[in-house]
Chain A
Amino acid sequence: MTNLGLHTKLKEIKTLILKEATLEWRQKYAISGMLLYVVSTVFVCYLSFSLKRNQLTPIVWNTLYWIILLFTAVNAIAKSFSQERFGRLIYYYSLCSPQAIILSKILYNCLIMLLLSLTGFAFYAFVMGNPVGDIKLYLVSIALAAVGFASVLTLIAGIATKAENSATLMTVLSFPIILPMLLMTIKLAKNALDGLDWSVSMDEIQTLLAIDAIVVTLSYLLFPYLWKS
């Protein structure tokens, strides 16, 4: 019985993710807008630094990339609940379980964040130079950050859309919450930048995975209370 329940739940999540993707594909302005947002932010940074580009130390290079990514993530995920009309949300809620909705949103936002951060990284490395020593570890840190940012911000977006001034609230609520994750990621990325051995970074990877696990579990448990209102 539980096996069957799990199966239908997975199917539900799959359908919901496909629905999100179809919706995104139909109104392309959202995702293309976000891609343009990353690219133009990177370009603004490039132009602002262009006179002194070779004076950019690895620490500044790294931090700048993650700050750009932080703002991108907040902007991209903030709309994940507000994009759809209110009536349609009620329709979904009457059809599926809230757990399936939050998990599908988190997974879908993970995919979006991976797309955005990898595109951002490619373009950033292209214009700002690429001092990364261990590219594989850097990609690992990008993947961990994408998953972590998506899972934290999805629940916060759900909270913020319930309030009136949701744009400000989204930033104020999410920045302090996301900070431990951001600091860990920056540290991990710095290790990758210096090309240190993977064993040095195991601590950071484990902590990031632990924070991700806590956040996803909490979102899973708390979201049902959120959509009731």
Chain B
Amino acid sequence: MRKMWWKIASIIILLYVIVMGLMGPVPHLPIINETIRNTYFHVALWLAMTTLLFSSMIYSIAYLNKGDIKYDDRASEIAKAGIFYGILGCLTGSLWANFTWGDPWPNDPKLNGAAVGILIYLAYLLLRSSFEDEQKKARISSVYNIFAFAVFIPLIYILPRLTDSLHPGSGGNSTFGSFDLNNDMRKVFYPAIIGWILLGLWMAELRVRLKIIERSQHD
């Protein structure tokens, strides 16, 4: 029963986010209308994904420093949860884009960057699957994971800002938070980020435990 509190917290926060996200007060803006509620899902999922991928990179660094296989397990499983969030973020984003920009996949640098980012991490999984030896797999994929994250961040957050994008915060558009995100929304938005991160970690933790069981059965 130890270390249960954060799982319970995750459930409570996400229930709160879903209820308040769908029922709570939101500002009424032209074009966006009620779809602004997607902020709690789309934007929060993206931020949670970045956090997960960042912590995956931290575990990869820890693996390279300490050489303990458990860090690599965590790095790979958290990366998988991150990819899953990336795909969910794309889906919620395309739903949103369909109603506001009139096209489920407009030719936007941020969308394409996101797609490429998912490709980078799928390549990471492919790299992992092409080794037999555990330590070798862990070492080489950790190197790639660190390298991938360093390229992923400019791809998602810096390059789109240099070009014109439909997204807020790039190409002369002001950022989302500066005028749309009022205090009512903040009360749901920030917990939403934390809730999604906790859920992602929970999924990763379950898979890590599964891996440990499998390994001990092998031996």
Say yes or no for B181: interface residue by CB 8 A criterion.
Answer: no
A180 touches B154 (CB 8 A): yes
Say yes or no for A143: interface residue by CB 8 A criterion.
Answer: no
Say yes or no for A205: interface residue by CB 8 A criterion.
Answer: no
Contacts A176-B120, A184-B159, A225-B64; is A169 near B127 (CB within 8 Å)?
A: yes
A222 touches B126 (CB 8 A): no
A180 touches B155 (CB 8 A): yes
B123 touches A176 (CB 8 A): yes
A176 touches B139 (CB 8 A): no
Interface SS, B side: helix
Contacts A163-B131, A218-B147; is A203 near B136 (CB within 8 Å)?
A: no
B154 touches A179 (CB 8 A): no
Say yes or no for B142: interface residue by CB 8 A criterion.
Answer: yes
Residues of the A chain whose Cβ atoms lie less than 8 Å from the Cβ of B144: 159, 173
Say yes or no for A162: interface residue by CB 8 A criterion.
Answer: yes
Say yes or no for A214: interface residue by CB 8 A criterion.
Answer: yes
Say yes or no for A84: interface residue by CB 8 A criterion.
Answer: no
Say yes or no for A183: interface residue by CB 8 A criterion.
Answer: yes
B130 touches A169 (CB 8 A): yes
Contacts A176-B123, A180-B159; is A225 near B116 (CB within 8 Å)?
A: no
Q: How far is the CB of A176 from chain B (nearest CB, A)?
A: 4
Q: How far is the CB of B110 from chain A (nearest CB, A)?
A: 13
Q: Kindly state the separation between the CA atoms of A179 and B116 in the bound complex, as whole angstroms.
A: 8
Q: Which residues, 176 to 229 on A, are CB-close (under 8 Å) to B?
A: 176-177, 179-180, 183-184, 203, 207, 210-211, 214-215, 218, 222, 225-226, 228-229
B162 touches A172 (CB 8 A): no
B150 touches A218 (CB 8 A): yes
Q: Which residues, 121 to 158 on A, are CB-close (under 8 Å) to B?
A: 155-156
Q: Mark B164-184, 1 if CB is under 8 A from A, else 0.
A: 000000000000000000000
Residues of the A chain whose Cβ atoms lie less than 8 Å from the Cβ of B140: 159, 162-163, 226, 229
Say yes or no for B148: interface residue by CB 8 A criterion.
Answer: yes
A173 touches B123 (CB 8 A): yes
Q: Which residues, 57 to 114 on B, are CB-close (under 8 Å) to A?
A: 64, 113
Say yes or no for B212: interface residue by CB 8 A criterion.
Answer: no
Q: Which of chain B's residues has its CB closest to A214's CB?
A: B150
Say yes or no for B151: interface residue by CB 8 A criterion.
Answer: yes
Say yes or no for B119: interface residue by CB 8 A criterion.
Answer: yes
**In the complex, how many residue pairs between chain A and chain B have their CB atoms under 8 Å apart?**
79
Residues of the A chain whose Cβ atoms lie less than 8 Å from the Cβ of B143: 155, 159, 222, 225-226
Q: How far is the CB of B78 from chain A (nearest CB, A)?
A: 19
Q: Kindly state the separation between the CA atoms of A138 and B142 in the bound complex, as whole angstroms.
A: 37
Q: Kindly state the separation between the CA atoms of A164 and B129 in the bound complex, as whole angstroms.
A: 10
A163 touches B159 (CB 8 A): no
Q: Which of chain B's residues has its CB closest to A211's CB?
A: B154
Residues of the A chain whose Cβ atoms lie less than 8 Å from the Cβ of B123: 172-173, 176
Contacts A179-B116, A218-B146; is A163 near B155 (CB within 8 Å)?
A: no
Q: Which of chain B's residues has its CB closest to A203's CB?
A: B162
B127 touches A159 (CB 8 A): yes
Contacts A159-B127, A165-B130, A172-B126; is A177 near B148 (CB within 8 Å)?
A: yes
Q: Kindly state the separation between the CA atoms of A40 and B123 in the bound complex, as whole angstroms.
A: 30
Q: How far is the CB of B143 from chain A (nearest CB, A)?
A: 5
B139 touches A226 (CB 8 A): yes
Q: Kindly state the separation between the CA atoms of A195 and B165 in the bound complex, as whole angstroms.
A: 25
| B interface residues with partner A (beta carbon < 8 Å) | 64, 113, 116-117, 119-120, 123, 126-127, 130-131, 135-136, 139-140, 142-144, 146-148, 150-151, 154-155, 158-159, 162
Ordered by A's residue number, 15 sampled pairs between the chains whose C-beta atoms are within 8 Å are A163-B140, A164-B130, A165-B130, A176-B123, A177-B148, A180-B154, A180-B155, A203-B162, A207-B158, A210-B154, A218-B146, A218-B147, A218-B150, A222-B146, A229-B139
* A-B pairs, 10 with minimum CB distance: A176-B119, A176-B120, A163-B130, A222-B143, A229-B136, A172-B123, A180-B155, A176-B116, A173-B123, A225-B64
Additional A-B contacts beyond A172-B126, A180-B154 (20; CB < 8 A): A162-B131, A163-B131, A164-B130, A164-B131, A165-B130, A169-B130, A173-B123, A177-B147, A177-B148, A180-B113, A183-B159, A214-B151, A222-B147, A225-B139, A225-B142, A225-B143, A226-B139, A226-B140, A228-B139, A229-B135
